[in-house]
Amino acid sequence: MTQDELKQAAAEAALAFVVEDSIVGVGTGSTANYFIDGLGRMKDRIRGAVASSDASAQRLAGHGIALFDLNDVTELPVYVDGADEIDGSLAMIKGGGAALTREKIVAAVAGRFVCICDASKRVATLGRFPLPVEVIPMARAQVARALTALGGRPVWREGVVTDNGNLILDVHDLSITDPVGLESEINQIVGVVTNGLFARRGADTLLLAAPGGVQRIDAA
């Protein structure tokens, strides 16, 4: 099976978690796109969706799925999204597509975070994938210095502007021994909007696709 087929298999498995007549939280990226396409087939069984990016909103709209503003939503039973890396405790690195802040906001409202991944995303320790950090533009250099002081090597993702009008620094070479602590520590740097560690609120359920099938792993 190709990596794309595995992503699609994980995404299809997530459709079983969609609650009838509910509003669905929808992530961003190539794996989430397969989920959106599947959701399109069952659009008559849901009220609509909250999107975590302009790109996902566009794809959802293309399927005729009603879009809701998160401010108007009080109940979001399920959020489905991919990840760049996920560890044994279901903590993740996200933001390879620069959508981390909206993803974290929508996920925070959701009752259950279902992560959909192909097996290549599963790691013992987070950090081989450079950690994306969304930064207010005028603070780019000072945040980069603070991230260097933490032991990382920040690289500005030049040319990329987030849906919120901000910049991304990708932090290489971090030793992530305490994902929960590091997530909080980086968020304390003035000028940081948020970082791509999803550890304080990780996934509740992982659907991990390998050639042998899709494995379900629930958080302890």
Ligand X SMILES: O=C[C@H](O)[C@H](O)[C@H](O)COP(=O)(O)O
Per CB under 6 A, does 102 bind ligand X? no
* Touching ligand X, residues 12-51 (CB under 6 A): 27-32
103 is catalytic: yes
Per CB under 6 A, does 214 bind ligand X? no
Size of the site for ligand X (CB under 6 A): 18
Q: Which stretch binds ligand X (CB under 6 A): 61-69, 76-84, 170-178, 206-214?
A: 76-84
Q: 134 near 105, Cβ under 8 Å?
A: no
Per CB under 6 A, does 131 bind ligand X? no
Q: 29 near 52, Cβ under 8 Å?
A: no
Alpha carbon distance 78, 76 (integer Å): 6
Comparison of 27 and 202: residue with beta carbon closer to ligand X = 27
Q: 58 near 85, Cβ under 8 Å?
A: no
Q: 143 near 133, Cβ under 8 Å?
A: yes
Q: Which of 12, 85, 103, 183 is catalytic?
A: 103
Comparison of 23 and 83: residue with beta carbon closer to ligand X = 83
The response to whether 125 counts as a known ligand-binding position is no
DSSP 94-129: --TTS-HHHHHHHHHH-SEEEEEEEGGGB-SSS-SS
Active centre residues (catalytic) = 103
Q: Which residues define the annotated binding site? A: 28-31, 81-84, 94-97, 121
Please give the annotated binding residues for substrate, written as ranges. 28-31, 81-84, 94-97, 121
